[in-house]
Copies of this chain bind each other. A is one copy, B any other.
Amino acid sequence: MNTTPAYQDLAARQQRQHRLAHLQSIAQWDQAANMPAKGNEARSLALAEMDGLLHQLATDPALQGLLDAAAAEPLDDTQRSNLREIRRAWRAANALPQALVEAKSLANNRCEHAWRTQRPANDWAGFAPNLREVLKIARQEAELLSQSAGLSKYDALLDMYEPGMRGADVERAFAPLRQWLPGLIRDVIAKQSTEAVIEPVGPFPAAAQKALGLDAMKLMGFDFAAGRLDESTHPFCGGVPEDVRMTTRYREDNFLPSLMGTIHETGHGRYEQGLPRELLGQPIARARSMGIHESQSLSFEMQLGSHPAFAGLLSPLLIKHFGDQPAFEPGNLHKLLTRVQPGYIRVDADEVTYPAHILLRFDIERALIEGEAQVDDIPALWDAKMAELLGLDTRGNFKDGPMQDVHWAAGLFGYFPCYTLGAMYAAQWFATMRVQQPDLDARIARGELGGVFDWLSSHVWQAASRYETPELVQRASGEALNPAHFEAHLRGRYLGA
């Protein structure tokens, strides 16, 4: 006798949504990696149709009764956690009417597609009207979500990416950062100004960079039978856990952005590949949050990839693909990988100045969503904060300013803080690992990365969404989110203190 019929019904519906979302996900990856220009309108309509269908399945009126009935069934812990996640997704989906879901998908696709040509043309005037439409819909969405969840408008959006985290929590973690970051940047720059660094001499052909990236992914344990690497304008990690689609882009004058970007996306990719396969299709098997996701990419790119000993692992790969040159000596390579230099572009930023880019975006997007700023205010706000935080003049340079990221064009307000939350979580994971594995740094120097991957797998990948974020963090590290680990990491690595 089946004693959990309502739960089984819910689980079968989740499985069905997962399968349809698979097609959606591959078509989205294809849109960025392969699709020719004239395919965009039909693709956008097809994706919007599927968005609508998935929304319809997620808001089926039968769900409320099933959720209530399942709560009274004799579920085990796994089923209970899964039911919690099913309910969370159901609540979020039901906050938005179908028409808004469809209008959002259309406006975001249109804005993002146009952005691909507007950005290189520095065409803020062309971009702004599309962004206004995206923001208008995002504000409506925030308003409805905030009513349904009893949160402020920005918190309601943030909650979609970092469940349980509020703007005030972010501000609590970011407040000390605002205090010590400008001083740290100054100190690191002063220290590094006395150090000689040998520049790599290019060009570095894209084909050799691709081969290098594939070797780096192999070093980081990526499973090529369950994923691949391609090119797109804005690198991302998409696809499905069974078939992870990573992208990168190549600049022939400098191989480092693509190499370190690829290592970054490999962290996302291994998280997805490492989710519990036997539960795939159920919400409990999904990645916990964007901040936790970013803690994996930054564990790969920063904690490991920019580790002093990691340069010794990379150096032979560079020589293999580009031939030998003095810049590839491990000590010099480490200096290249940890050079701190305020710049315009977030995705090119070093580990130390990166949080400044996030503080700036967090402040602006929070004001945009709360209605305290408008699209036309963005350039002036941007210029002021770049001058204040990084001492840079960005006036008139929209393409390297507020047009540099895809996030707002794609309607992703509330996402940016996750990057720096992820950096903080990653520092906390490695602080914990060093306590549990005292020879960790020596092992990394010997290229034995298995201990790191095993720790991440058992504490983060396999846990997936079984626990809410605070419980996951507590179980993994024995304490709540503690931004002091991030400060200690940066001071230790960059000032030797």
Contacts and interface: CB of A to CB of B under 8 A. Distances in A.
A99 interface: no
Nearest to A273: B38
Given A22-B43, A30-B26, A243 B36 contact: yes
A42 interface: yes
A280 interface: yes
B39 A242 contact: yes
A42 B223 contact: no
A37 interface: yes
Interface stretch (A45-53, A156-164, A180-188, A385-393): A45-53
Given A19-B46, A23-B24, A26-B27, A226 B39 contact: yes
A49 B30 contact: no
Contacts of A240: 39, 42
Interface in A1-57: 16, 19-20, 22-24, 26-27, 30, 34-39, 41-43, 45-50, 53
Nearest to A31: B26
Nearest to A227: B36
Contacts of A34: 228
Q: How many copies does the complex hold?
A: 2
Contacts of A36: 224-228, 243
Nearest to A242: B42
B53 A20 contact: yes
Given A243-B42, A280-B42, A225 B37 contact: yes
Contacts of A38: 223, 225-226, 242-243
A202 to B, nearest CB: 23
A280 B41 CA distance: 12
Contacts of A53: 20
A74 B50 CA distance: 32
Given A27-B27, A243-B38, A49 B19 contact: yes
A47 B225 CA distance: 20
Interface string A201-213: 0000000000000
Q: Which of A35, A42, A48, A228 has the most CB of B within 10 A?
A: A42
A455 to B, nearest CB: 23
Q: Taking each of A27, A37, A48, which has the highest tally of chain B beta carbons within 10 Å of its own beta carbon?
A: A27
A426 to B, nearest CB: 27
A7 B20 CA distance: 28
A450 to B, nearest CB: 20
Contact of A20 (B19, B30, B49, B226): B49
Nearest to A223: B38
A204 to B, nearest CB: 20
Max count, chain B CB within 10 A of own CB: residue among A16, A26, A53, A240: A26
Contact of A41 (B26, B46, B242): B242
A50 B243 contact: no
A48 B23 CA distance: 11
A68 B23 CA distance: 34
Nearest to A16: B49
Residue among A37, A39, A48 with max Cβ neighbours from chain B (10 Å): A39
A26 B38 CA distance: 15
Interface in A148-199: none
B23 A50 contact: yes
A46 B30 contact: no
Given A36-B225, A39-B243, A42-B243, 14 more contacts: A19-B42, A19-B49, A20-B49, A22-B27, A22-B42, A23-B50, A26-B43, A30-B30, A35-B243, A36-B226, A36-B228, A39-B240, A42-B280, A43-B243
Interface of A: 16, 19-20, 22-24, 26-27, 30, 34-39, 41-43, 45-50, 53, 223-228, 240, 242-243, 280
29 contacts: A19-B46, A19-B48, A19-B49, A19-B50, A20-B49, A20-B50, A22-B43, A22-B45, A22-B46, A23-B24, A23-B47, A23-B50, A26-B26, A26-B27, A26-B30, A26-B43, A27-B27, A34-B228, A36-B224, A36-B226, A36-B227, A36-B243, A38-B223, A38-B242, A39-B226, A39-B227, A41-B242, A42-B240, A42-B280
